[in-house]
Amino acid sequence: QPVQPAQSPVTVLGLGLMGTALASALLKAGHPTTVWNRTAAKTGPLAAQGATPADTAADAVAASPLIIVCLTTNEAVRALLAPEAEALAGRTLVNLTNGTPAQARELAQWAAAHGITYIDGGIMAVPQMIATPAAYILYSGSDEAAFETHRPTLEALADTKWVGKDPGLAALYDLSLLTGMYGMALGVAQAFALIGSEGIPAREFAPLLRDWIVAMTDGIVPETAEAIDTDQHLTDVSNLAMNREAYPNFIQAYAEQGLRTDAFEPFQDLLDRAVEEGHGADGLSRLVTLLKKS
Ligand code: FVH
**For residues 279 and 211, what is the distance between their CA atoms, to the nearest angstrom?**
30
Atom 10, ligand 1: which residue's CA is nearest?
A: 97
Tell me, what CATH number does 117's domain have? 3.40.50.720
State which ligand 1 atom lies nearest to the alpha carbon of 126: 3
Q: Is residue 20 part of a domain?
A: yes
**For residues 23 and 288, what is the distance between their CA atoms, to the nearest angstrom?**
39
Residues in a beta bridge with 123: 137
Query: Whole domain around residue 217: which residue ranges?
Result: 197-290
Tell me, in angstroms, the distance from the centre of ligand 1 to residue 262's CA: 31
Mean pLDDT of the chain: 96
Q: Is residue 186 part of a domain?
A: no
- Residue-wise pLDDT tens digits, 195-251: 999 999 999 999 999 999 999 999 999 999 999 999 999 998 899 999 999 999 999
Residues 157, 29 share a domain: yes
Q: Is residue 226 part of a domain?
A: yes
Give residue 237's pLDDT. 87
Give residue 293's pLDDT. 85
- pLDDT of 10 over the 90 cut: yes
Cβ(123) – ligand 1 distance below 6 Å: yes
Q: pTM for this structure?
A: 0.94
Give residue 5's pLDDT. 59
Give residue 284's pLDDT. 95
Give residue 131's pLDDT. 98
Give residue 2's pLDDT. 58
Cβ(206) – ligand 1 distance below 6 Å: no
Whole-angstrom CA distances from 51 to 31, 257, 270 are 9, 54, 52
- Residue-wise pLDDT tens digits, 41-59: 999 999 999 999 999 999 9
Tell me, what CATH number does 225's domain have? 1.10.1040.10
Cβ(39) – ligand 1 distance below 6 Å: yes
Tell me, in angstroms, the distance from the centre of ligand 1 to residue 283's CA: 40
Mean pLDDT of the 101-119 span: 98
Q: Is residue 184 part of a domain?
A: no
Mean pLDDT of the 176-186 span: 97
The DSSP element (H or E) to which 95 belongs, if any, is: strand 92-95
Residues 162, 28 share a domain: yes
Cβ(285) – ligand 1 distance below 6 Å: no
Domain count across the chain: 2
Count, residues in the chain: 294
| Nearest Cα residue to 50 out of 82, 86, 89, 10 | 10
- pLDDT of 4 over the 60 cut: no
Q: Is residue 171 part of a domain?
A: no
Atom 19, ligand 1: which residue's CA is nearest?
A: 16
Atom 42, ligand 1: which residue's CA is nearest?
A: 16
- pLDDT of 294 over the 70 cut: no
Tell me, in angstroms, the distance from the centre of ligand 1 to residue 45's CA: 17
Give residue 3's pLDDT. 56
State which ligand 1 atom lies nearest to the alpha carbon of 71: 24
Cβ(257) – ligand 1 distance below 6 Å: no
What is the pairing mode between strands 33-36 and 52-53? parallel
- Residue-wise pLDDT tens digits, 155-165: 999 999 999 99
Atom 31, ligand 1: which residue's CA is nearest?
A: 76
SS3 239: coil
Cβ(228) – ligand 1 distance below 6 Å: no
